[in-house]
Structure formats: structure tokens, C-alpha cells
């Protein structure tokens, strides 16, 4: 299991699925394996009810952001699209609270890490909100 040498980024993603549709860690893992990854690429998944579930072992290099996996932890919340599959911040109140709690915990472990959205590194709307700005004071 290859580990990161440094962790200076925490990168927030979304599943790019319609708001209100739950997605399991196993389903995300199937998507990622089909795309050629060796398992789920995210370290954590935040479900609609606020439950946080582990994905890839946090000590292992992720597979979530090209060029940034070696120095980051990847978090994905379920949702991120409207019914027409257009980008939309669909986080439930429970997801917002759980995401904030998880980010605070990760910042305690990695105090110099900065929080970003996937969109800060790729031409995508993901995570369908401005994570870098929303969490700039953490």
C-alpha cells in the first residue's frame, strides 16, 4: 500500500448524481473499477443522511484528482446535479454538517492542508459549489 509523503490538500467532490438519489460506496467503487482504478478513488463518502463512510484507506494515495492524488485526501458527497443532470449544490443539511465536521477533523490531522473543490484542478463544476471559498476559514 503506497502512502502519501505529504498531505497539503483536501479536495471535495460530488458523485454527479441527481439530488436525493443515494449512492453506495460499493456503487462508486464499481464506477471507478470500470474506469480502470484499483478501487474507489475517494477516501470518504458523505451520504444524504450525513453518514460518513470510508472509501480508500486514508494512508493510501487516492485516485480522485489528476496530478493531486499524491498529496491530498479526497472527499465525495452524494449528489451534485439537478434532475436534468445540470450541476447543482444538492447537499442536504445533514451532509453540510457532516462535511464540515469531517473537514475539521482532517484539518486537525493535516493542519497545513488547504481545502479545495475538484473544480479548482479540472474543467468541471464538481463539487457544484465553491468549496475553496466556503471553507477558507477552517
Q: Which residues are catalytic?
A: 13, 42, 118, 124, 126
- Of 70, 66, 45, the closest CA to residue 55 belongs to 45
Q: Cβ-count burial of 70 within 10 angstroms (0-12 exposed, 13-18 middle, 19+ buried)?
A: middle
Sorted by sequence, the CB contacts under 8 Å of residue 7 that are 6+ apart come out as 71, 72, 73, 109, 110, 113
Question: How many CA atoms within 13 Å lie on the side-chain side of 128?
Answer: 20
Amino acid at each position: 500500500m503506497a502512502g502519501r509523503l505529504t498531505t497539503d490538500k483536501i479536495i471535495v467532490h460530488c458523485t454527479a448524481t441527481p439530488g436525493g438519489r443515494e449512492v453506495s460506496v460499493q456503487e462508486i467503487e464499481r464506477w471507478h473499477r470500470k474506469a480502470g482504478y484499483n478501487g474507489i478513488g475517494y477516501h470518504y463518502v458523505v451520504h444524504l443522511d450525513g453518514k460518513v463512510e470510508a472509501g480508500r484507506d486514508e494512508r493510501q494515495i487516492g485516485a480522485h484528482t489528476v496530478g493531486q492524488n499524491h498529496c491530498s485526501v479526497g472527499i465525495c458527497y452524494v449528489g451534485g446535479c439537478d434532475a436534468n443532470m445540470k450541476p447543482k449544490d444538492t447537499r442536504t443539511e445533514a451532509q453540510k454538517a457532516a462535511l464540515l465536521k469531517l473537514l475539521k477533523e482532517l484539518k486537525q490531522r493535516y493542519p497545513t492542508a488547504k481545502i479545495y473543490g475538484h473544480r479548482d484542478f479540472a474543467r468541471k463544476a464538481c463539487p457544484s459549489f465553491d468549496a475553496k471559498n466556503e471553507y477558507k476559514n477552517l
